[in-house]
Amino acid sequence: MKKIINDPKRVVDESVAGFGLAHADIVRVELDPVYVVRADAPIAGKVGIVSGGGSGHEPLHAGYVGFGMLDAAVPGAVFTSPTPDPILAATRAVDGGAGVLHIVKNYTGDVLNFETAAELAAMEDITVRAVVTDDDVAVKDSLYTAGRRGVAGTVLVEKIAGAAAERGDSLDEVAAVAERVNANARSMGLALTACIVPHAGEPSFDLGEDEIEIGIGIHGEPGRERVGLEPADRLVDRLLEPILGDLPFSDGDRVLLFVNGMGGTPQIELYLAYRRAAESLGERGIEVSRSLVGNFITALEMQGMSITLLRLDDEMIELWDAPVQTAALRWGR
């Protein structure tokens, strides 16, 4: 294992401290317990938005703290949900009297820890609502699984809900738009390599030189099936087809097309994949109205990508275009 680290146990603390120093104009970092909060929080009368989860997905979530997006992010250990204490502390720190929305990716650990924190916040008379994201079509949603995972669609939920909160929507309204984005977003990913969790010291799964894993999540966990490496266009089709069939997306829909890198894939490949996805959608009469390409929700140094489609309506477009000023997303301001 070769990584730019000091001590595997100090990776998150030291990285978060660096993040705070680099973006002191936007955020404030608390180290005991660890959370990242907007420099101007709490904002009186504005709904506070808190997200969080295991570290290793950077820039998610701390990179999205700032004007027009999250009020706080709570990073856990690598690929491990944060505990209730920092979630509660972050919730208190962003409560401006209008209530707090928790955006939680659907993993058992995240849901249980955020639920516990919300119960504790309720005891302090802070109104908390939670929206659980579950946009990953690779996982069967049935009684026999923990339900679909929250993956790249979470970034879109955070941007659009953040814009709604910034313009002064109520907690119920912000939660409703967040639910609507999640309900209209579908994602699927693939990996060319596994990733190495610093304290584990070895790859999270073993892939042959010519093998890829289809349907991976964002924690280096294995996916749906293992196949041989194929040309990019075929890989894009493998991701797009289940996504399109699931919502389903159809002729005349306007979408946001999001091609996300898993951390170890260069942009040149992501744009190459985007080309195929955009052409394929065009052939089906689906209009790509907005786009996002880059490493926005990652699995450490994993090579791979995910594709997300979000079916847009006018309000979502307006909120997507609204100004945002965070470390990782910044426009219009």
Partner 1 sequence: MGLDITWAVDWVRRSAEVVAEHRVELIRLDRDIGDGDHGENLDRGFEAVIPKLDDLAAGSTPGDVLKMVAMTLISTVGGAAGPLYGTAYLKAAAAAGSDASLDGPAVARVLEAARDGIVARGKAEVGDKTMIDAWSPAVEAAAAAAEAGADATAVLAAAASAAASGAEATEPLVARKGRASYLGERSVGHRDPGAQSSALLLQAAADAASESTGA
Options 23, 57, 61, 102, the catalytic residue: 57
Nearer to partner 1, 205 or 284 (CB): 205
Among 59, 217, 261, 304, binds partner 1 (CB under 8 A): 217
For partner 1, the binding residues in 247-306 under the rule CB under 8 A are: none
Pair of tokens at residue 307:
């594709």
DSSP-derived 3-state class of residue 302 = strand
Applying CB under 8 A, does 149 fall inside the site for partner 1? yes
Q: Are 75 and 33 in contact (CB under 8 A)?
A: no
For partner 1, the binding residues in 79-108 under the rule CB under 8 A are: 79-85, 107-108
The window from 61-69, 73-81, 172-180, 273-281 that contacts partner 1 (CB under 8 A) reads 73-81
DSSP-derived 3-state class of residue 140 = coil
Among 139, 163, 292, 327, binds partner 1 (CB under 8 A): 139
Pair of tokens at residue 246:
């699931």
Question: Is-catalytic flag, 61?
Answer: no
Pair of tokens at residue 214:
């289809």
Nearer to partner 1, 211 or 269 (CB): 211
Pair of tokens at residue 329:
């997303």
Q: Are 226 and 212 in contact (CB under 8 A)?
A: yes
The answer to whether the bond into 248 is cis (omega within 30° of 0) is: yes
- CA dihedral (103, 260, 134, 256) positive or negative: positive
**Smallest distance from partner 1 to CB 318, Å:** 35
CA distance 141 to 54: 22
Question: Is-catalytic flag, 23?
Answer: no
Applying CB under 8 A, does 144 fall inside the site for partner 1? yes
- Which stretches of the chain bind partner 1, using CB under 8 A? 54, 76-85, 107-109, 112-113, 115-116, 138-140, 143-146, 149, 197, 199-200, 204-205, 217, 219-222
Q: Give the residue numbers annotated as catalytic, written as ranges.
A: 57, 219
